[in-house]
Amino acid sequence: NAYSLRLWRDFEHALSQEFKDPMASLLENMNKIGPGEQIWLQWVITPAYDADWQGPSQKLAMKIAGKKAKVSESFLDQLIGSLVSFLDGIGTAIFPFYNYTEENAKVKDDMPSMMLHLTPTESAQLEGIQMKADKPGFWTKMRFVYIAEKNAASKPRGVNPIIGSLRQYDSANQNSFKMHKWTKTSGIYYWMVKQRMGRRKTNILKAFQNRSRSMGSNGMILNTEELATLYHFPTEVVKAPLVSRTQSKRAAAPISLPVEGAPRTLREPVKEEPQEIEKEIIDKATKDATKDAPSARSNQAPGNLPFI
């Protein structure tokens, strides 16, 4: 849980600053399936079990940096420490050659850190751990299901591309996704293969329908930045030809739309007749339309009036 996945900034080109959205690959692969095939991808996101999950992360970061982590002492630890200090004082007073003092202990504890001697991999790990612990975390579990008719099922088309798309977020030196060996519907080659395979398929389908937190693997903690990298609305620069975008129409606001005035509350009865400000807007629009219209005598019928 301490290590981070690849984030959105890792998908930017260093020179051109062009963003390669990983969602494009996932959407393209999901659109390659044909009739009779379905791909289900589920993210179960809930608050983390451990509210202090950043604590172990900070300890790991201090360990990599070669620093001593600050440990909160209990009352018993403080009592024992005071007793040891008292005995050390007595030993120093009786035996002059007794050389253990608080200054020596402090010098031993304040050893220089190993920051200058870290390798590039260790520096990247340290930075990733601290950046992940700096944001709120959520307990996350992912499920992937591929359902298809027997004559249309194709593992190279429906399974392998999706797994490959999720591998984009893996980092060899930090965190990565891994399939749970006790829930995947492959790799069973002995002792009641069909029965065990059918049982696993039924379990994962039930877990998917119930959005279960307990069934399957333990999941992992991801912070808000990692979750935003995994799933977000595709940007306009995403080149996914098979993904069609819904076109929207723009229209002017209705003329009776209230612009100013006191807002209506639930306690006030809703009146069907327009308010004062609405009446002013309607009257003004009517006068402007009358000015622009060609003048005509009031007692004369329009020339384009149809007659029978």
pLDDT in single tens digits along all 308 residues of the chain:
788 888 888 887 777 777 778 888 888 888 888 888 989 998 999 887 666 777 777 888 778 777 666 655 566 767 777 777 766 666 666 666 555 555 555 545 555 566 667 787 888 888 888 888 888 888 889 898 998 888 888 888 888 888 888 888 888 788 888 887 777 777 677 787 788 888 888 888 888 888 888 787 788 888 888 898 888 877 766 666 666 666 667 777 777 777 665 555 555 555 555 566 667 777 777 776 666 555 545 556 666 666 55
Radius of gyration of the chain (CA): 34
Q: What share of the chain is helix, strand, coil (3-state, %, to 5)?
A: 40, 10, 50
pLDDT tens by residue, 67-99: 666 655 566 767 777 777 766 666 666 666 555
CA 299 to chain CA mean position, Å: 71
DSSP letter string, 120-172: HHHHHHHHHHHHHHTS-EEEEEEEEEEEE-TTT--HHHHTHHHHHHHGGG--T
DSSP state, 9? G
| Distance of alpha carbon 138 from alpha carbon 226, whole angstroms | 10
Q: How do residues 124-178 score in pLDDT, each as one tens digit?
A: 888 888 888 888 888 889 898 998 888 888 888 888 888 888 888 888 788 888 8
| Residues composing the chain | 308
Backbone angles phi, psi at 156, to 5 degrees: -65, -20
- Dihedral of the alpha carbons of 298, 304, 306, 307, in degrees to the nearest 10: 70
- Pairing mode of beta strands 37-47, 137-148: antiparallel
